[in-house]
Amino acid sequence: MKRQLGILFLMAGALLLTNCQKEYFNLDKLSDEVEIHPELIAPLFYGSLNIGDIVEYVDSAGYAREFDDGLIYLAYSDTVVNVMADTIEDIPNAVYTETYLSADVNIPEFTESNPGDIVHFLKNKIIAIQLDGDDRVDSIRIKGGEILLEVMSSFKHNGYVNISSEQILDPRGEPFFVTLVCSDESGVFEDSGRVLTDYYYIETFEKGDSNVIQIDFDLVLTNSGNPVDPDDICQIDLNFLDMGFYSLFGYIDSRNVFTERGSIEIPFYTENPELAAVKFADPRINVWITNSVGVPLVITMDSAISNGTDGSSVTLEFYEGHPFMVPAPGMTQIGSAVSEEFHINRETSNFNELLAVGPTSLSYKVSGRTQEGTGDESHFVLDTSRLIIEIEFLLPLDFRSTVIALEDTIEFEMGDQGIDTSMIRQVNLTMSTVNELPIKLDLQVYLLDEFYQVLDSVFGDNQVLLAASEVDQEGKLIQAGEEENTAIFPAEKLGKFEEIRYLQVHARMNTSELGSKDVKLYSDYSLDFKLSLFADLIINSRVL
């Protein structure tokens, strides 16, 4: 019995103790607040930017290109001159008149003839094709145009006139021959006719100092028995109208062919005036001339003036190679064009002075003349012949720069909420770069409030964002530059983001080795980057 009582005592004591442990199990008093302080380290983004791709992206206007070896250059080009053949030569309208006077008809063969007899009166006319100056025509393939034939006669006899020329061939190659009724017994006769001359061919022959053609006239009258009055006349006008040419062979005398003025805009400096400090190794103006006119020309560039961002200007002065002598295609190259390239660079001109002002535009005057004294007097011009002059302001990205300082202020606003720092103790963003560009970049971003007062900065002082690559003596890549930077954002700094209204970006760039040597930018250079995150967080259920 004692034993049983003991057991009961033990059980009662246990119940009492159980009651004491209730404090652990009264879930009504359980706080639901949960808070952990995890750290998070993770890669965020990575990528590789190819310089060629960057340039293509930035250069929406298409100013950037690359040489065969991949060296990038900027080119601002313009077509200065585009001259058609008719600017150089044209065929003016002309009138050639042949007249039969009474004296020409009142000759024994006619006066002694009987009524009804037919008498021929032959005449010919030597004419020269009229062009400018001392131009000489050897042959022309006519394009379009017409020969208007006008006849007026007061002879009181029926008759007609045959007009022909061995130097004028129709498109079938037959000599020119036209018959016109030119007279009747009334003594009052007028008539006209026209011959369309497209693709007619005229070939002159030398006579004296001129190249001419001969036109033959055969007036045929049937004796009506009426007399020939002293003032009777028969006049035949040949009007050469609206003639162009498919081809013209001969000699084009020396003269001014064109004068053009224009301007090339250079946005590179307009948009980035700071880059005037960049020293380019091989800047140049390329002049491309394409000539399919069978006449050698002389091109002169006058008054080439670069206009700087500060309002200053520099006139381009040539040391050599100017004016530009433009050859012409030879007789074996008819229909083809010859091209010639001329370079204006630091050796041939004061180009350095021109670039030093950071030219935003280049204004110019270009004129062209046919060359004199070449000894070759066989020229030709086709209707398709033209002269094209293009200018290319070219900046190969082979350069050096000690310091380029860029600064920009941009609007920035996180919104009313800013960044909720209740869950963040610190955030570190680490950027690792492998840079094949021979450019070092120091970057600082200042956080400004609405009054442009500096609240804080993103990076530490003198922080290098990109290390320049190592280059050889030719400015080519040897070893990429590697850099790792961490931007630290403690909660205090993140808390300021709510006040930020502007970001002021300060960037300082220089080329490899502090700009002491020229470096080249090739399109296959890349910039690899990797961004990673470290976050020290507070996650509390009360603030979620």
Partner 1 sequence: MKSLYKFILSIGILAGFGIEAGAQVSNSLYFMQGVPQTNRINPAYQPGCDLYIGIPFLAPVRTEETSSPYAWSDLIYPHPTQDSLITFLHPLGDKEAFLNKLKPTNYFLSNSGTSWLSVGFRTEVGFFSVDVTTRFDGSLYVPGDLGVLLINGTEDGKTYNLDGLSTDWMGFDEVSVGWSGAIVDNLNIGVRGKVLFGVGNIATVNSNLSLTTSQDSWHILSDMHFAASLPFADVTYDEEGKISDIALKDEVEDLDPWQLPKYAFNTRNFGLGIDLGIEYRPTDNLLLSASLLDVGYIKWTDETHEMTYKTEYDFPGFEIDPLEISDDFTFENYLDSAFNQIGDSLSGFLEFAPGGVYSRKLNTKLYVGASYSVTPEINFGLLSRTDFLTGQIAESVTASANFAVGQWLNLTLSYSYIHSYFKNVGAGFSIHTGPFNLYVISDNALNLVFWPQDTRAVNVWLGVNLIFGCKDIYRDRPLVY
Give strand pairing partners of 203: 139
Closer of 35 and 372 to partner 1 (Cβ): 35
Stretch that binds partner 1, among 13-21, 219-227, 313-321, 393-401 (CB under 8 A): 13-21
Contact 48, 527 (CB under 8 A): yes
State the minimum distance, in angstroms, from the CB of residue 29 to partner 1. 4
Contact 334, 326 (CB under 8 A): no
Closer of 17 and 61 to partner 1 (Cβ): 17
Output the DSSP codes for 106-170: -SHHHHTSPTT-EEEEEEEEEEE---STT-EEEEEEEES-EEEEEEEE--BSEEEEEEEEEEEE-
- Map the footprint of partner 1 across residues 425-454, applying CB under 8 A: 430
Stretch that binds partner 1, among 66-74, 362-370, 463-471, 527-535 (CB under 8 A): 527-535
Distance of CA 15 to CAs 3, 18, 262, Å? Answer: 19, 5, 108
Closer of 37 and 120 to partner 1 (Cβ): 37
Q: Is 42 in the site for partner 1 (CB under 8 A)?
A: yes
Closer of 334 and 531 to partner 1 (Cβ): 531
State the minimum distance, in angstroms, from the CB of residue 401 to partner 1. 24
Residue 24 phi, psi dihedral angles, 5° rounding: -80, -15
State the minimum distance, in angstroms, from the CB of residue 531 to partner 1. 7
Distance of CA 350 to CAs 40, 227, 283, 284, 316, Å? Answer: 60, 85, 11, 11, 6
User: From the list 5, 57, 231, 417, which residue makes contact with partner 1 (rule: CB under 8 A)?
Assistant: 57
Q: Is 410 in the site for partner 1 (CB under 8 A)?
A: no
User: From the list 6, 8, 9, 46, which residue makes contact with partner 1 (rule: CB under 8 A)?
Assistant: 46
State the minimum distance, in angstroms, from the CB of residue 537 to partner 1. 7
State the minimum distance, in angstroms, from the CB of residue 336 to partner 1. 43
Q: Is 524 in the site for partner 1 (CB under 8 A)?
A: no
State the minimum distance, in angstroms, from the CB of residue 27 to partner 1. 5
User: From the list 6, 8, 9, 53, which residue makes contact with partner 1 (rule: CB under 8 A)?
Assistant: 53
Query: CA 500, CA 409: separation in Å to the nearest integer?
Result: 12
432, amino acid identity: S
Half-sphere exposure of 341 (CA within 13 A, CB side): 6
Please work out the total of residues on this chain that contact partner 1, with binding judged by CB under 8 A: 45
Q: Which residues contact 39 (CB under 8 A, 6 or more apart)?
A: 534, 535, 536, 537
Half-sphere exposure of 98 (CA within 13 A, CB side): 22
x/- letters, 17..36, toward partner 1 (CB under 8 A)? xx--x-xxxxxxxxxxxxxx
User: From the list 2, 3, 62, 208, which residue makes contact with partner 1 (rule: CB under 8 A)?
Assistant: 3
User: From the list 8, 41, 95, 107, which residue makes contact with partner 1 (rule: CB under 8 A)?
Assistant: 41
Query: CA 318, CA 315: separation in Å to the nearest integer?
Result: 10
Q: How many other β-carbons are positioned within 10 Å of the β-carbon of residue 13?
A: 10
**Cα diameter, the chain:** 191
State the minimum distance, in angstroms, from the CB of residue 327 to partner 1. 45
Stretch that binds partner 1, among 42-50, 332-340, 373-381, 452-460 (CB under 8 A): 42-50
Q: Classify residue 275 by its DSSP letter.
A: G
406, amino acid identity: L
Closer of 137 and 437 to partner 1 (Cβ): 437
Closer of 4 and 336 to partner 1 (Cβ): 4
For β-strands 189-196 and 146-153, DSSP reports them as: antiparallel
Closer of 51 and 83 to partner 1 (Cβ): 51
Q: What is the phi-psi region of residue 24: left when phi exceeds 0, alpha when psi lies from -120 to 50, beta otherwise?
A: alpha
Q: Is 54 in the site for partner 1 (CB under 8 A)?
A: yes
State the minimum distance, in angstroms, from the CB of residue 431 to partner 1. 11
Local structure of 367: helix, strand or coil: strand
State the minimum distance, in angstroms, from the CB of residue 358 to partner 1. 28
State the minimum distance, in angstroms, from the CB of residue 17 to partner 1. 5
State the minimum distance, in angstroms, from the CB of residue 442 to partner 1. 20
Give the footprint of partner 1 on this chain (CB under 8 A): 3-4, 7, 14-15, 17-18, 21, 23-47, 49, 53-54, 57, 430, 530-534, 537, 540
